[in-house]
């Protein structure tokens, strides 16, 4: 047993632990937001985030898979992936200009949703922060600069937490701190990318650019679906005139729920490397074994967070958030299916069946809306929680069928 444990410890690379540490500090930051903001303020922040993330999704979110998936493949084949970065940069820049124009044209609709006209400029500023972070958060991973990338992110995460604790007392200050921190983070990572890979020659090819563009377009379906799953409930809550305070309570529980996303980002980095390094005849068995252990570990961590959440809230004197603890427990079944869908979808995204995988997220988004409109109207926040769980079940069923019928057979052939 000791030998097995020792072998497992030796296989853990430093950047795994650093990446997980970033997730830990992200969760701590989420917890401290409730100390700094009351439920109503958190509700207003959630509405600002809803619009800013939609803008981000339509600007750079829909093309970020090209960096890890296509970039890792290109680096493994040629030793350079600069062209993938250039193609994606062009896509992001064009999208950014279009979305910025739409932000101005749709000001009336945005104001009706965020319920506070003074927060209009904050939407755009937070959108910039999301774009800065997204563009730089994966930039070095395809070139196997895992330690440098993860360490830089850890420093940025700790800086954000520190600045939040020292300087944030309202929504506006939080948005300033968030966007400023990740603007600096982006500049550092881009500088490191130039330092490591700037001297490598690159030949730009129109057909390859079109391939990256096409690959990214196929991701629009899934990324919009993910947005609907993570944010769509807020639109339903506003439509049903749920109070901003209750929106804040729901979003705090869901923020903790989605705070495990760095773990899935880590698997998004690891799984492509596993696929290209493991013998194809053993790939399925190895993946399923690793997925089982990953889901067990993540579930244990989720329940640990849920267990300490109530004492923590009472300790800091924020009993007005206790309802969020209940919501977080209710989301545990959804978390199990979320874990499975993220892991198995990452595998499929690295095969020729990546187009079919996008439909799973579409199904999840559609099912969420189908369930949420009547259930939120009847049961309020509880209906939103149930709708979320059902949407992840739908996605898990579809991806499981797709994997076993097509992807698994392709490994064995």
pLDDT at 208 over 90: no
pLDDT of 268 > 80? The answer is no
Which residue, 311, 49, 350, is CA-closest to 175?
49
Whether the predicted pLDDT of 220 surpasses 50: yes
pLDDT digits over 231-242, tens only? 999 999 999 999
Number of H helices, E strands in the chain: 19, 0
Say how far apart CA 318 and CA 116 lie, in whole Å: 24
Q: Identify the residue with better confidence: 3 or 276.
A: 276
Confidence of residue 408 (pLDDT cuts 50, 70, 90): confident
Helical residues (DSSP H) of 240-353, grouped into ranges: 244-258, 261-277, 280-315, 322-330, 332-348
Any long-range contacts for 166-170 (C-beta under 8 Å, 24+ apart)?
A: 168/36, 169/36, 170/37, 170/41
What mean pLDDT comes out for the span 361-380? Answer: 92
Confidence of residue 4 (pLDDT cuts 50, 70, 90): very low
Cα 14 to its chain centre, rounded Å, is: 22
Query: Based on the number of CB atoms within 10 Å of its own CB, is 87 exposed (0-12), middle (13-18) or buried (19 or more)?
Result: buried
C-alpha to C-alpha distance for 87 and 21, rounded to whole angstroms: 31
State residue 40's pLDDT score. 94
pLDDT in tens, 67-114: 888 888 888 888 888 888 999 999 999 999 999 999 999 999 999 999
CA angle 12, 267, 219 (to 5 degrees): 160
- Per the CB < 8 A criterion, the answer to whether 204 and 71 are in contact is no
pLDDT over 90 for what percent of the chain? 52
Number of neighbours of residue 132 by Cβ within 10 angstroms: 23
DSSP for 28-70?
A: HHHHHHHHHS-HHHHHHHHHHHHHHHHHHHHHTGGGTHIIIII
Mean pLDDT of 113-140: 94
pLDDT in tens, 179-201: 999 999 999 999 999 999 888 77
Q: What is the mean pLDDT of residues 258-281?
A: 73
Token pair 């709708």 is found at: 387
Cβ contacts of 40 within 8 Å, gap of 6 or more: 244, 245, 248
d(CA 315, CA 21): 23
Yes or no: say if 67 and 91 are a contact pair by the CB < 8 Å rule: no
Instruction: Tell me what pLDDT residue 412 has.
Output: 62
Across the range 154-159, mean pLDDT stands at 93
Q: Looking at residue 354, what is its pLDDT?
A: 77
Summarize the confidence of residues 119-138 as an average pLDDT: 94
- Answering whether pTM is above 0.85, one says no
- 94 compared with 32, residue with greater pLDDT: 94
Q: Are 51 and 125 in contact (CB under 8 A)?
A: no
pLDDT score, position 8: 42
The confidence score (pLDDT) of residue 2 equals 42
Greatest CA separation for the chain: 64
Q: Angle of helix 206-239 relative to helix 82-105, nearest 10 degrees?
A: 40
Distance CA 45, CA 52 (A): 10
Per the prediction, the chain carries an average pLDDT of 87
């Amino acid at each position: 047993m000791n030998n097995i444990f020792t072998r497992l410890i030796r296989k853990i690379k430093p950047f795994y632990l650093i990446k997980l540490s970033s997730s830990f500090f992200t969760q701590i930051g989420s917890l401290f937001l409730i100390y700094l903001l009351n439920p109503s303020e958190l509700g207003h922040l959630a509405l600002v985030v809803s619009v800013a993330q939609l803008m981000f999704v339509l600007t750079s979110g829909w093309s970020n898979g090209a960096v890890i998936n296509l970039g890792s493949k290109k680096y493994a084949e040629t030793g350079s992936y600069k062209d993938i970065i250039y193609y994606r940069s062009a896509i992001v820049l064009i999208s950014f200009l279009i979305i910025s124009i739409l932000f101005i044209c749709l000001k009336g609709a945005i104001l009706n949703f965020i319920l506070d006209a003074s927060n209009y400029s904050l939407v755009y500023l937070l959108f910039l922060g999301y774009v800065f972070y997204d563009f730089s958060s994966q930039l070095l991973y395809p070139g196997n600069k895992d330690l440098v990338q993860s360490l830089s992110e850890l420093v940025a995460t700790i800086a954000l937490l520190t600045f939040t604790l020292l300087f944030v007392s309202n929504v506006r200050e939080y948005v300033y701190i968030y966007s400023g921190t990740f603007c600096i983070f982006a500049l550092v990572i881009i500088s490191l990318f130039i330092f490591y890979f700037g001297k490598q020659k690159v030949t730009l090819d129109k057909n390859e650019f079109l391939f990256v563009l096409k690959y990214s377009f196929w991701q629009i379906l899934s990324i919009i679906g993910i947005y609907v799953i993570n944010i769509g409930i807020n639109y339903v809550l506003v439509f049903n005139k749920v109070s901003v305070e209750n929106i804040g309570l729901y979003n705090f529980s869901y923020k903790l729920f989605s705070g495990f996303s760095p773990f899935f980002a880590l698997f998004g980095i690891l799984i492509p490397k596993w696929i290209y390094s493991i013998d194809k005849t053993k790939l399925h068995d190895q993946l399923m074994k690793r997925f089982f252990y990953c889901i067990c570990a993540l579930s244990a961590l989720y329940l640990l967070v849920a267990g300490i959440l109530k004492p923590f809230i009472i300790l800091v004197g924020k009993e007005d958030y206790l309802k969020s603890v209940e919501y977080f427990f209710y989301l545990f079944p959804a978390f199990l299916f979320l874990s499975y869908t993220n892991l198995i979808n990452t595998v499929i995204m690295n095969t020729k069946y990546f187009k079919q995988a996008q439909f799973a997220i579409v199904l999840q988004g559609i099912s969420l809306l189908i369930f949420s409109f009547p259930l939120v109207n009847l049961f309020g926040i509880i209906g939103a929680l149930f709708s979320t769980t059902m949407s992840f079940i739908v996605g898990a069923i579809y991806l499981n069928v797709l994997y076993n019928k097509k992807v698994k057979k392709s490994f064995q052939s």
